[in-house]
Chain A
Amino acid sequence: MYNLRAGLKNELMLMLYRRKTLFFFILAAAIPILLALTFHALQPMLGLVAASSSYPIQMLNLYTIFIIPLFLFLTIADLFPQEISARTLKIVLLRPIHRFSVYTAKILALGITIAALLLILAIVTSACNAFLGSQELGTIDWLSYGKAYIAAFFSMWALSAVFVFVAQFFRSASGFLVFSILLYAAAKVTPFFLKGFSSFSLASYTDWYMLWLSHSVSAGKLITSSLFVTSGLILFFTLGYILFDRKEA
Chain B
Amino acid sequence: MECIAKLSGLTKEYRNGRGIRNVGLELYKGDIYGLLGPNGAGKTTLLKMMTGLIAPKQGSVTLFGHNTEQSFAAAMSKVGCMIESADFYDYVTAGQYLKSVASFYPNVQKERIHEVLEIVGLTANVKEKIRHFSTGMKQKLALAAAIMPYPELVILDEPTNGLDIEGIVLFRELVTRLSKTEGITFIISSHMIHELEQLCNRVGIIYEGALIQEGNVSELLQDIPSLEQFYIGELQKAKGGPRIV
Contacts and interface: CB of A to CB of B under 8 A. Distances in A.
Q: Which of B74, B88, B100 counts the most chain A CB atoms within 10 A?
A: B100
Nearest to B53: A249
B85 A17 contact: no
A60 B230 CA distance: 71
A13 to B, nearest CB: 5
Given A14-B92, A17-B96, A96-B74, A91 B104 contact: no
A62 B99 CA distance: 37
A41 interface: no
B91 A94 contact: no
A101 B52 CA distance: 14
B18 to A, nearest CB: 14
Contact of A90 (B73, B76, B83, B103): B83
Interface string A209-249: 00000000000000000000000000000000000001011
B87 interface: yes
Q: Looking at chain B's contact residues, is the secondary structure mostly helix, strand, loop, or mixed?
A: loop
B73 A96 contact: yes
B73 A91 contact: no
Interface in B69-123: 72-77, 79, 81, 83-85, 87-92, 96, 99-101, 103-106
Given A90-B53, A96-B74, A97-B73, A10 B91 contact: no
A246 B52 CA distance: 11
B104 A93 contact: no
Chain B contact-residue range equals 20 to 34
A93 B76 CA distance: 10
A94 B100 CA distance: 13
Given A88-B88, A97-B73, A98-B72, A13 B83 contact: no
Nearest to A11: B100
A10 B101 CA distance: 8
A86 interface: yes
Contacts of A93: 51-53
B87 A88 contact: yes
Given A17-B96, A248-B53, A96 B105 contact: yes
Contacts of A195: none
A10 B89 contact: no
A86 B85 CA distance: 11
Contact of B91 (A19, A98, A99, A246): A19
A118 B194 CA distance: 59
B209 to A, nearest CB: 16
Contacts of B3: none
Contacts of A10: 100, 103-104
A86 B87 contact: yes
Contacts of B106: 2
B221 to A, nearest CB: 33
B76 A13 contact: no
Interface string A45-60: 0000000000000000
Contact of A91 (B48, B75, B76, B87): B87
A3 B73 contact: yes
Contacts of A17: 89, 91-92, 96
B54 interface: yes
B89 A88 contact: yes
A91 B88 contact: yes
A20 to B, nearest CB: 10
Contact of B84 (A19, A87, A101): A87
Nearest to A5: B103
A10 B76 CA distance: 18
Interface in A35-86: 86
B101 A91 contact: yes
Q: Which of A14, A87, A88, A91 counts the most chain B CB atoms within 10 A?
A: A91
Given A94-B76, A96-B74, A13 B53 contact: no
Interface string A98-129: 11010000000000000000000000000000
Nearest to B51: A94
A15 B74 CA distance: 27
B144 to A, nearest CB: 13
A204 to B, nearest CB: 35
Q: Which 5 A-B pairs have the closest CB atoms?
A: A95-B104, A87-B87, A96-B76, A96-B77, A96-B73
Interface of A: 2-3, 6-7, 9-10, 13-14, 17-19, 86-88, 90-91, 93-99, 101, 246, 248-249
